[in-house]
Structure 1
Amino acid sequence: MAEWFSNLALFPKIYWSIAIIGSLIFIISMILTFAGSDSDDLSTDSEIDADTGVGFQFITFKNLVGFFTIFGWSGIACIDAQLSQPITIIISVVCGLIMMTIMAAMFYYMRKLNDSGTLDFKNAINAVGEVYLTIGAKRSKIGKAHVRVQGALRELEALTDSETDLKSGSVIKVKNVTENGILIVELLNK
């Protein structure tokens, strides 16, 4: 192996070195990622991310590793295809930049999939639900209602301005929400 490498010309040696080193770092990075020791989370980026929601990041450690790995291997493929050195450099740089773009876009869209899970009670307005525990007439007694909010069925406290109590099983509609998250509901007319 060492003899084969020493017999290579300088140009292929550079590409083989970049490809091998990039691939080793890529493999180590993947192992650490799956083991739970993701190197990007150890940087200050996580503080910025939590505070301001940093968006599309083109130059990151993982993107650079991807660039050099693809740069090296595409350069080796061009050398094996006996392309000229300038064409090999151009193709390998373009392939590396395409890889960086793909990885940056992939991580950007994966971050957008995060959801805080915080319930915004305003999203319950106009939702239809069912009374679970009797709600007292004219806001006399807090009851409970099952209402689908933000894609999940939730059991929330409710009041009504109705003249009569809303009994368990009644179909209701949310009119408003108080500042402390109590639903103001009315009987849904059938």
Structure 2
Amino acid sequence: MPTSIAEGKDWSLERFEQHKPDTVTDVGPGEGTYAKLFRPVHKGVWWTGIEIYKPYIAKYKLKSTKTRSMYDELHVEDARDSAAHLFHRDLVIFGDVLEHMPRLAADVLLQQAAAAGAWNILVSVPIVESVQGEVDGNPHEAHVHQWDADDMDQVLAGLGGKVESIRGDTLGCWWWSRRG
């Protein structure tokens, strides 16, 4: 779904406040959960969104010419095909998005973000069985891979740097930082 549960959001916000990124790419923003949560805390951040499903842009007012947009820059495309410079940010957010692609594709996308120069990566994925198909006509909402928390630990540790995590009842959240 284009929404996310509250679990892990306070923890993520604490890390955001500690690192104070000036540039953020939000992969698969859906309704803009992280922009809504983080934007009021640290002003002057340049927000880039990469949204695969074009109808969400108007539905959730991700980019507007009439009012303040949630995103300063918005790309309608599959993040797996995005230019490397979009991941050269202080923070790249993969909030409830990696379960929507095959495991290998998610691994490669995380590696691409780190290789492109991401200083920090925030990941949130369900860590319990979470079967989901198409939602509201969006085939990209289907859950393709079920993540195990230990597995995500290993994937992010393989990027080098420092990894912090929290495991809730439903979601796991990870903050990977290039600065070890």
Q: TM range, normalised to the smaller chain?
A: under 0.3
Q: Which has the larger radius of gyration?
A: 1
TM-score when normalising by structure 1 = 0.16
Q: Which has the higher helix share?
A: 1
Q: Which has the higher strand share?
A: 2
Task: Pick 1 or 2: higher relative contact order, CA cutoff 8 A, min separation 6.
Answer: 2
